[in-house]
Structure 1
């Protein structure tokens, strides 16, 4: 990765777009789903999920603006120098937001497991929002350093990452200063968490044997296993982040210390695509590892896709589904009872879908083909 313009060819750029565009779409839709799920389901509005939403916003912005910015700069188009600096620096900002959010999640889980009583007393949404604000401000301060002056001076007006961003900044300041240390800290935090969970399980077993209380044993075991599963899922998020982002930083480091070694720009593009793909992975992890996220995702997708399709086919929902995902708010439907010659109320316990029919001469709509649709 030299200071010369990489000169990416048309074929390479086309392949790059073929990978980047689906990743961008997946990152946008998946992380929108995460944000919408936390907004609509009050059971997901926890302190930890506040940091997860912060991470989802950063990943959403990667798909919405980060990847388009990368495609623009890879095209070697001519533009203003400071605009070029901002486009290339903004993806660094989003990376730092992700790292700081993951670090905040790790610290949050550490105190939740190690000092659960103290954690429940001091952890609240207001403090979480303050931490999130600090992480975003710090990320912008770190990522926009090239705009403030630490950058290269290209020979022409063409805009490309390696011709305007100084690799000394990327390696010494960004990687060694604000990427690698947080990842190492998170590694030790999760090792500590898993050790504490293991010790707690052993202690619970001893307590149960001494007290001979099956109910207490079941309760304590459920709490410990729940925290352990949450920590394991979030550890997977961090591991995938490291797998996806370390290759591009390793290539930057090699290019800085081995100046005579030519690294093909196509290899760098592959590492960049892998780093961008990380933004589309986290929603899949949440859906796989968290039952509440999975259940909420299913309901949102069903309400957004199935219901619109049924509506386009002439079907209407017979009730309004509560977006709090706790129960369905039922709309009573007047149904003509031909036997008793009176109108009664049909109140289903699950969403009912009725097909529109022409009104009967006496003004009462006949409701036929009543179909119960499970929202689970």
Structure 2
């Protein structure tokens, strides 16, 4: 019956007027538009295989869940246990907050995987503001982590007096405040009339001036990555020389200054672990930044851009995995949290180091 009805409809349309044909054409094409009721001004959806969309949906959803869960564990661990209230760990806390918000931010990316933005022009601008703030805060925190390790390894005698918990908290707060102000200035033209750069309904586009784009490229990418690389090259050069000195004089150092030897080893280990974090960050962020900031994204297909974006997001999921693999205190903290021992009175004073 359905087949017969469809055939009759087609025959009727062929025999009928032009408006009948136009109506059926609009009905057939309605599913291709973001807003079928206003298809004349609506953007078209991205055309891709259903299996590809399903894989992307599943991958981003799983990555979002893992990223938020693991980084939430890092936030709870460092915030709850007093033994972890060190300057270096407060920097890791700032990075975990940024990565946790990136995990939540992935849900917005899942919503626009078909190329349609349905949340309105104001939220579109806020989407870019939120994304920019998280990126800038992550880059700034990475620079602070590198500077922290540089001072710990290259100037260990004055490290404890230079790098205090209060100073680190001030630096982290300034990092986030500056990130917000920086992005608001960068996108200031888009707040006057949100959506004015959209070519069709369902598009989410912001425009940044040439000068601002060049400044963002230099400040957020070139200078930051250069500082990260230079500081950590210096850190590992000094660390290698210290390791060689410790190996050649290990007996004498242990007899005269056993506690100092332990501190040296712990600082070197921390530098190595955070070096892995920095290298992973550079590896994940560089491909995406090189494509988007240079302005060559139009030369790549959707699948490649999706991969670069997923690689960019994967870094936020990777950081807590690095902590779990290298930091015994993180594994112990997770055990205490999962067994609900964290709810007991006095658990914040537990020695998990």
TM-score (norm 1): 0.72
State the alpha-carbon separation in 2 of the partners of residues 286 and 46 from structure 1: 16
State the alpha-carbon separation in 1 of the partners of residues 213 and 268 from structure 2: 35
CA spacing shift, 1:6–1:229, aligned 2, 3 Å: farther
State the alpha-carbon separation in 1 of the partners of residues 44 and 106 from structure 2: 19
- 1:288 and 2:333 are equivalent in the alignment: no
State the alpha-carbon separation in 2 of the partners of residues 265 and 170 from structure 1: 26
Return the match for 1:187 from 229, 232, 252.
229
User: Is the Cα contact below 8 Å between 1:51 and 1:128 reproduced in 2?
Assistant: yes
User: Is the Cα contact below 8 Å between 1:171 and 1:253 reproduced in 2?
Assistant: yes
Q: Which runs of 5+ in 2 are unaligned?
A: 1-42
User: Is the Cα contact below 8 Å between 2:91 and 2:144 reproduced in 1?
Assistant: yes
- The alignment partner of 1:164 has SS state of coil
State the alpha-carbon separation in 2 of the partners of residues 158 and 250 from structure 1: 27
- The alignment partner of 2:132 has SS state of helix
Q: Specify which structure has the higher proportion of helix.
A: 2
- 1:270 and 2:307 are equivalent in the alignment: yes
Deviations 1:121-165 (A, max 9, x none): 2322211111011100121123334530169712223233xx434
State the alpha-carbon separation in 1 of the partners of residues 112 and 129 from structure 2: 11
- 1:249 and 2:293 are equivalent in the alignment: no
Deviations 1:266-298 (A, max 9, x none): 211111111112111111111111122222122
CA spacing shift, 1:94–1:6, aligned 2, 3 Å: farther
Deviations 1:5-46 (A, max 9, x none): 784236354433211111111111111100111122222110
The equivalent residue for 2:163 is 123
- 1:326 and 2:344 are equivalent in the alignment: no
State the alpha-carbon separation in 2 of the partners of residues 39 and 191 from structure 1: 31
Aligned Cα root-mean-square deviation (Å):
3.0
- 1:298 and 2:335 are equivalent in the alignment: yes
Q: Which runs of 5+ in 1 are unaligned?
A: 308-318, 328-374
- The alignment partner of 1:76 has SS state of coil
Deviations 1:73-129 (A, max 9, x none): 444134543321211231121011111011111111111122223121232221111
State the alpha-carbon separation in 2 of the partners of residues 263 and 87 from structure 1: 23
CA spacing shift, 1:214–1:81, aligned 2, 3 Å: closer
Q: Specify which structure has the higher proportion of strand.
A: 1
State the alpha-carbon separation in 1 of the partners of residues 245 and 44 from structure 2: 59
User: Is the Cα contact below 8 Å between 1:171 and 1:252 reproduced in 2?
Assistant: no
Q: Which has the higher contact order (CA 8 A, sep 6+)?
A: 2
